[in-house]
Amino acid sequence: MTPRDHLRAELRAGLLARGAEGLLRSPRLPEGLDLTSNDVLDLARDPWIAARVAERVLERGVGAGASRLLRGHGEAIERLEARLAGFCGREAALLFPSGYQANATVIPALVGAGDLIFSDAANHASLIDGVRLSKARRVLFPHGDIDALGRALAEPGGGRRLVVVESMHSMDGDRAPLESICQLAEAHGALVYVDEAHATALFGARGSGLVEAAGLSERVTLTVHTGGKALGSSGAWVAGDAELIAHLTNHCRGFIYTTAPPTALVAALDAALERIGQVPERVARVHALAATLRRALARGGLQLGRAGDHIVPVVLGSAERAVAVSDALARDGFDARAVRPPTVAPGTARLRIVVRSSLDAPTLERLAARIIHHARETAA
């Protein structure tokens, strides 16, 4: 056998093993009512935003053609970053092509060998990879456990110290205790890094997230925001002090060595920021509908984790059961996808339901009834 044949045989065996565990994944075309995407405010197909993007693309072309530090920078990006900084109440902001790229490369630009990172054990994969790439010493604390974080911070350790959390957890939908985290970090000389991906556009007077809503902008070192969730587009940005953004511009490999975001992304983010100011009722509607769904699911005795907002996890246990319930819901016309290990811990496979502003209470009541029915049918 050739090396290629050996590789194919090994990969095939690995895929078969994963399939036997109910963990084999592949992309699936959208079909049925969307209860899975993060397009919470229904901006991804908003005609007003689409028209703005088309206009900008016709004016300026499609792509950047270079990295930002060569010829990929432009007035549109410069204006957008100034607007993003103001949106977050910070001095400056830096735009990235994706949230993954931001987290995976900003953390290594801030800390390195000899430094210490305190990371929530359930952090998103992009944060985990950023921590690993940094080569700093990593201390994990149980998800949301403020007492464990306090004990970890109290241990001696030299170098720069950085606490890394999501303001709203991507799979559980619960909020980080940001006030307590800031208090502990200040008491122990640590910086605070907050990923606001799932809170951006949904909390705070300006809409920048839970850090703003809690009045902690001056106490959090930097925040990371994505455009691919409630803002309905793509890309990401880091917001913080001017010196921090200048440092990242010079030291963050994910910024320096990548092609600048295309015209459509810049235009879509700019338009989405304006659009959310035009439709504030959508945010209130999302929160009200999420409460309706949680109440309906709770009547069936389902395990909903600690969620309190638009991300509603229905924990079903085994991967096989989660997939079975998801498939049954698809036959009912509901697209509610199963999330399985390694994305979540073994034994906590779930449906991850995202409530959007265009849904309505009767639909969510029907959804809850079908979930309860299929969960009972598949119970061990």
Looking at the fold, whether 274 and 287 belong to one and the same domain comes out as no
Predicted structure pTM score: 0.94
Looking at the fold, whether 193 and 249 belong to one and the same domain comes out as yes
Looking at the fold, whether 185 and 289 belong to one and the same domain comes out as no
The token pair at 104 is: 């995976």
Looking at the fold, whether 101 and 192 belong to one and the same domain comes out as yes
Name the domain boundary from 278, 296, 330: 278
Residues 227-255 pLDDT 10s? 999 999 999 999 999 999 999 999 999 99
**What pLDDT score was predicted for residue 253?**
97
Looking at the fold, whether 331 and 253 belong to one and the same domain comes out as no
Residue 4 lies in a domain: no
CATH number of the domain where residue 72 is located: 3.40.640.10
The residue range of the domain holding 185 is 62-278
CA atoms of 139 and 162, how far apart (whole Å): 10
**What pLDDT score was predicted for residue 158?**
76
Name the domain boundary from 278, 301, 326: 278
Looking at the fold, whether 183 and 253 belong to one and the same domain comes out as yes
Radius of gyration of the chain (CA): 22
Residue 18 lies in a domain: no
**What pLDDT score was predicted for residue 380?**
65
Q: What is the spatial order of strands in the sheet that 349-354 belongs to? A: 311-317, 349-354, 338-339
The token pair at 310 is: 């638009």
Looking at the fold, whether 93 and 223 belong to one and the same domain comes out as yes
How many domains does the structure of the chain reveal? 2
The mean per-residue pLDDT over the stretch 305-317 comes to: 87
Looking at the fold, whether 288 and 353 belong to one and the same domain comes out as yes
User: Which residues are the active-site residues?
Assistant: 38, 124, 166, 170, 195, 198, 229
CA distances from 376 to 126, 301, 332 (A): 35, 10, 16
Amino acid identity of residue 175, one-letter, is R
Residues of the chain above pLDDT 90, percent: 88
Residues 6+ apart with CB under 8 A from 378: 316, 321, 324, 325, 328
**What pLDDT score was predicted for residue 157?**
80
Burial 302-318 (b: 16+ CB within 10 A, else e): bebbebbbbbbbbbbbb
Residue 299 lies in a domain: yes
* Winning range, highest mean pLDDT, from 11-25, 211-225, 298-312: 211-225
* Three-state SS sequence of 313-375: EEEEECHHHHHHHHHHHHHCCEECCEECCCCCCCCCEEEEEECCCCCCHHHHHHHHHHHHHHH
9 pLDDT above the threshold of 90: yes
The mean per-residue pLDDT over the stretch 257-280 comes to: 95
Quickly count: other Cβ atoms within 10 Å of residue 85's Cβ.
19
The mean per-residue pLDDT over the stretch 280-305 comes to: 92
Region of poorest pLDDT, from 11-20, 25-34, 203-212, 229-238: 25-34
CA atoms of 122 and 142, how far apart (whole Å): 7
192 pLDDT above the threshold of 70: yes
Residues 150-179 pLDDT 10s? 999 999 887 999 999 999 998 988 999 999
Name the domain boundary from 216, 251, 278: 278
The mean per-residue pLDDT over the stretch 33-41 comes to: 96
Identify the sign of the CA torsion 301, 302, 303, 306.
Answer: negative
